Amino acid sequence: MKLSYYPGCSLHSTAAEYNMATEAVFASFGVELVELPEWNCCGATAGHSTDKFLALALPLRNLVIAEAEQQSELVLPCAACYNLIKGADHYCRQGTPEANDANEELKSIMGSSYNCTVNVTHPLEVIMKKEYVGKVSEMLKKPLSGLKLAPYYGCLLTRPTYVAFDDIEQPKAMDELMKLAGADVRRWSYKTDCCGGSLTVPRVDIVYEITKNLITAAQRAGADAVVTACPLCQMTLDTRQKEIDKPIPIFFFTELLGISFGHPEAKKWMKKHIVDPIPLLTSLSLV
């Protein structure tokens, strides 16, 4: 089986390990992720905040390409990309004037517009479908036994409501998936708080404070590590722990799922992490 795949800018750069782990996990399920041809940046980092037209036109161009490729589903692992492209899809389905204008402009440039036939999904959403999540237990080779995790969804997978595929206030998909993989999932109250990633350049002092609060809360809950589904959250928390006495690793959920499946390349994914996760994983005989 093949699914259309939009890696976005992060998964070809700062979150390359997320890309490798996600492709490996889907391959374990017998799914090939086929990269969308000639995709463009969705504009999540700057475009959407500087120009309302670009906020719709940039993601819509990718949806037009997906339709031209006759793809009914587009998988987006970056929470920011998912949020923006899911939003553009939503506005087109609602027929808002801004979306209609952007669609007409794209038609004049590309020769076609977006006809709202693509289902925009996140890998976590896809894996939680019965045909995949039902196989997790039988696929385990190295259960994540003893690994105490704080699942962190961030703000982009649950806000606004039209992008959410889980409970808005208390999402549980990643919790359930990590439990199936054998981890000790800890309850905490910060799983949907913003990491402050958008302030990394202008107000790094605020980001350090947010990170300190989040990591301290995770440790207070008894977690040895945080697991996330967003490359911006992972990068922010992984790189801003200098004020933490005992920094903890920040994993992508597909990295840990890949480890539990016994993927031979899993150790290589850890090389890009700033807080080295190898000592923790080695202590639990996971690598």
Tens digits of per-residue pLDDT, 101-131? 999 999 999 999 999 999 999 999 999 999 9
Strand pairing partners for 250?
226
Strand pairing partners for 121?
75
Three-state SS at 212: helix
Question: What's the pLDDT at 34?
Answer: 97
Tokens of 253: 């959920």
Do 144 and 260 meet the contact criterion of CB atoms below 8 Å apart? Answer: yes
Question: What's the pLDDT at 199?
Answer: 84
Three-state SS at 202: coil
* Phi and psi, residue 228, nearest 5°: -135, 170
Strand pairing partners for 7?
none
pTM of the model: 0.95
- Chain centroid, CA 52 distance in Å: 24
Question: What's the pLDDT at 99?
Answer: 96
Which tens digits make up the pLDDT trace of 208-250?
999 999 999 999 999 999 999 999 999 999 999 988 999 999 9
202 vs 282, which has greater pLDDT? 282
Question: What's the pLDDT at 102?
Answer: 95
Do 283 and 171 meet the contact criterion of CB atoms below 8 Å apart? Answer: no
- The share of the chain scoring above pLDDT 90, in percent, equals 91
DSSP letters of 9-34? Answer: TGGGTTTHHHHHHHHHHHHHTT-EEE
Question: What's the pLDDT at 47?
Answer: 67
Q: How far apart are CA 78 and CA 10, in angstroms?
A: 7
Question: What's the pLDDT at 49?
Answer: 72
**Range 134-283 classified under CATH 3.40.50.11810:** yes
Lowest mean pLDDT among 14-18, 48-52, 122-126, 168-172: 48-52
- Chain centroid, CA 6 distance in Å: 12
Residue 201 has pLDDT above 90, yes or no: no
- Domain ranges in the chain with CATH number 3.40.50.11810: 134-283
- Chain centroid, CA 32 distance in Å: 18
Question: What is the chain's mean pLDDT, rounded?
Answer: 95
- When pLDDT is averaged across residues 75-98 and rounded to a whole number, the result is 97
